């Protein structure tokens, strides 16, 4: 008998006498809730070099105008909750300066925005091509962690997860922004 055969025989013998009942794996670590989910999300968004504004629903139109800055051509997907001057879709996205969308969820522990491309979010390309992305998120849509986000999302819907503006680093660790998406991400958290 070869060494390989001896090892496999020992494994088979051990498995033959093993208890086959399944023991649940404790997952308590998955349900830890940060002390202040909204504040943690805001902190993480800023850590990713995104701009952040917190406002009330009444202040939202002005907050969006300020976040857009000098953008002249703005995309606003169908279903956006307030009326803004902008185009809802266009075949050539490269001619637009900015896009304004909503987000389905925000994840506090990672500072991540999740879009499922429902009303107010548009197709995925809208959030990748214009140089500026202004994303509006309600406080009540911020969840503590990734497990809660995954549990709340429809796995059959397309999703885009965004953690800060698009950025990459070269071999010398020189950061370059705007390579694979917007150079500027501005998150607006709306209190309720």
Q: How confident is the model at residue 14, as a pLDDT? A: 80
SS3 78: coil
Average confidence (pLDDT) per 10 residues, the chain, 192 residues: 89 77 67 77 93 96 95 90 73 82 96 94 84 94 94 93 77 66 89 88
pLDDT at 1: 83
Tell me what pLDDT residue 191 has: 95
pTM: 0.77
Tally Cβ neighbours within 10 Å of residue 16: 7
Look at residue 150 in the predicted model and tell me its pLDDT. 94
102-130, pLDDT tens digit by residue? 999 999 999 999 999 999 998 888 887 78
Alpha-carbon span 161 to 186, nearest angstrom: 15
Residue 88: predicted pLDDT: 65
What CATH fold (topology level) applies to the domain 33-190? Rossmann fold (3.40.50)
What is the length of the chain?
192
Domain boundaries, the chain: 33-190
For position 93, what pLDDT does the model report? 78
Give dist(CA 76, CA 125) in Å, integer. Answer: 13
Phi first, then psi, for residue 188 (nearest 5°) are: -115, 115
User: In terms of C-beta density within 10 A (0-12 exposed, 13-18 middle, 19 or more buried), how is residue 127 classed?
Assistant: buried
């Amino acid at each position: 008998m070869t060494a390989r055969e001896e090892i496999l025989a020992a494994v088979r013998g051990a498995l033959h006498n093993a208890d086959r009942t399944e023991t649940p794996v404790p997952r308590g670590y998955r349900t830890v809730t940060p002390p202040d989910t909204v504040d943690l999300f805001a902190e993480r968004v800023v850590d990713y070099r995104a701009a952040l504004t917190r406002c009330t629903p009444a202040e939202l139109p002005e907050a969006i105008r300020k976040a857009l800055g000098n953008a002249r051509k703005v995309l606003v997907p169908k279903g956006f909750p307030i009326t803004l001057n902008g185009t809802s879709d266009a075949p050539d996205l490269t001619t637009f300066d900015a896009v304004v969308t909503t987000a389905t969820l925000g994840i506090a522990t990672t500072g991540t925005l999740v879009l499922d491309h429902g009303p107010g979010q548009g197709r995925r390309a809208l959030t990748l091509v214009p140089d500026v992305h202004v994303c509006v998120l309600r406080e009540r849509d911020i969840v503590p962690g990734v497990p809660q986000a995954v549990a709340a999302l429809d796995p059959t819907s397309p999703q885009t997860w965004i953690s800060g503006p698009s950025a990459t680093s070269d071999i010398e660790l020189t950061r370059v922004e705007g390579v694979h998406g917007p150079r500027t991400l501005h998150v607006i958290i709306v209190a309720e």
